[in-house]
Structure 1
Amino acid sequence: MDMRDFMEKHGLTDEDLDRMAEPYERGECPHSDAPMYSGSHLDRVGKKRVTVVYDAVDVQAVSAVARKRGVKPSVVYRDALKAYLAGAAGA
């Protein structure tokens, strides 16, 4: 179901959606006392998702290391980046 179908099914117009979005766009949440944040939840917890493209042979090597260590490949990539940055800081 696309947005137009959804709106038609529920009898909504563009004006209805604009009106319902106004409080949230002002940073207000009428249904909660909790603070509202914009952006990715990763920004809030101090992390940022990035996309990096590696050669397939390197990805396979990382997967093998991760299996051997019993961790996810992302842990191996993070550890490698931390080691690289620690070395670069001393250079």
Structure 2
Amino acid sequence: MAVTRAQERVLRKAAEGGVQARGGFAEIVKRREAGVPDLFDDTAPPSDRLDREYVISRMVNDGLLTWGEGANEYIPTAKGNDVLARRDRQRARRAAS
């Protein structure tokens, strides 16, 4: 399963200690590229940012995340961890060549 860079960042943060759909996205910010607003920037107008809850719910539906111990916490599933491992292997192969 192919994941976007934003989804990969969510998975990596979730693997470190859980991620929240509301309020826990401070470190998961898409960098500004060629004047494009950050997708997860709270100061950006609503039309210019991606809805956090939508991203998390989509990843839950895809089987990449599941509920954690907290009320608003999500953690990666085995499928999510497999995606991260596959991405790491791909990066290692590219770096070796």
TM-score (normalised: structure 2): 0.28
Structure 1 or 2: more helix by fraction? 1
Greater Rg over alpha carbons, structure = 1
TM-score (normalised: structure 1): 0.30
Which structure has more relative contact order (CA 8 Å, sep 6+)? It is: 2
